[in-house]
Amino acid sequence: MRPITNVIAALLCWTGAAGAEELHRATVWDLKLGQPISAQPSPNEFRGFACGSNGGPPRQRLTGWSDFARCGAEPNGLHEVYFEYDDELEYIARARDLDREVARWAGTTEFAFPVIVSALFDAKGVLKGIRVVTDPRPDHRDDTTDADLRRRDDAYLFGGRMASRFAIDAKRDCTALPPAEGENAVGERFIKQSCELEDPALHQKVALRINFFRKPGQSAFNPQMATQLTQGQFESSARLEVLDTGGP
């Protein structure tokens, strides 16, 4: 979080009046692909730096981008740095009991979907990719229930948002993958979609994965009590990676 004096100043100046300056906090979209650490937003714009776990929860804590080399390289040679969005505006919204604004600024979210975001640096400290994965953890946290966030069963819908953002066409760029052994639909819906789009003009490659199905062993009903519905036995997720293809 930023210094408390900044929070107090923002609290005093926050207004919904017409013409007020649009509030903004840095997000994963402010990172600059193909650029060194010196060109990235200041670490003070974010919080919670840590080594990533391939789009999963944080591992070893870091102080900022410059610690990237402390994280083991992935098979492609890139180092994943997990980070979280600054919570200053959420703090202010909660202080003023502005429920709508709490929902807008709560946690690390995109379109009200909780997400895990990370930056991928090469050995020279150049940002070569970003990763955005839906985050299932808020379903189990009491402090997010009042923020009106999308729950895990809706997480696959985030994939449609990202497809729209990057102009991914389902017929042109996506492949519907068949169920693996033991996988089955949730109700009548089975989604296992892999999409790729390369943009030579922007020197970017976009990969998107969208899942909504039951894994082997998962069921809608308790096998010990056929009339009892199970809770959370399904895979619902979306995973986006944007990689810089501009060369070394």
Reported as half-sphere exposure (CB side, CA atoms, 13 A), residue 155 has a value of: 28
pLDDT reported for residue 226: 59
User: Sign of torsion, CA 35 37 39 44?
Assistant: positive
119 vs 132: CA distance, rounded Å: 9
88 vs 58: CA distance, rounded Å: 21
H/E segment holding residue 194? strand 191-199
What are the distances in angstroms from CA 10 to CA 5, 13, 93, 95, 96?
A: 9, 5, 10, 11, 12
Q: How do residues 173-202 score in pLDDT, each as one tens digit?
A: 999 999 999 999 998 999 999 999 999 998
pLDDT reported for residue 7: 52
Tally of CB atoms within 10 A around 201: 5
* pLDDT digits (tens), the chain, 248 positions: 455 555 555 555 555 543 345 778 899 999 999 999 999 999 999 999 999 999 999 999 999 999 999 999 999 999 999 999 998 887 787 788 777 777 777 889 999 899 999 999 999 999 999 999 999 886 544 444 455 688 889 999 999 999 999 999 999 999 999 999 999 999 899 999 999 999 999 899 999 999 999 998 877 666 665 566 666 788 999 999 999 998 65
Q: How do residues 8-19 score in pLDDT, each as one tens digit?
A: 555 555 555 433
Assign 244 to helix, strand or coil: strand
Closest to 34 in 3D by CA, of 221, 225, 203: 203
pLDDT reported for residue 23: 79
pLDDT reported for residue 247: 64
pLDDT reported for residue 104: 78
DSSP 109: E
The torsion angles phi and psi of 59, rounded to 5 degrees, stand at -115, -120
Q: Which amino acid is at 133?
A: V
Assign 12 to helix, strand or coil: helix
pTM of the predicted model, to two decimals? 0.85
Residue 130: which residues within 8 A CB-CB, separation 6 or more? 28, 31, 33, 117, 118, 119, 120, 241, 242
Residue 132: which residues within 8 A CB-CB, separation 6 or more? 28, 110, 115, 116, 117, 162, 239, 240, 241
Helix axis angle for 88-95 and 4-13, nearest 10°, is: 50
pLDDT reported for residue 35: 97
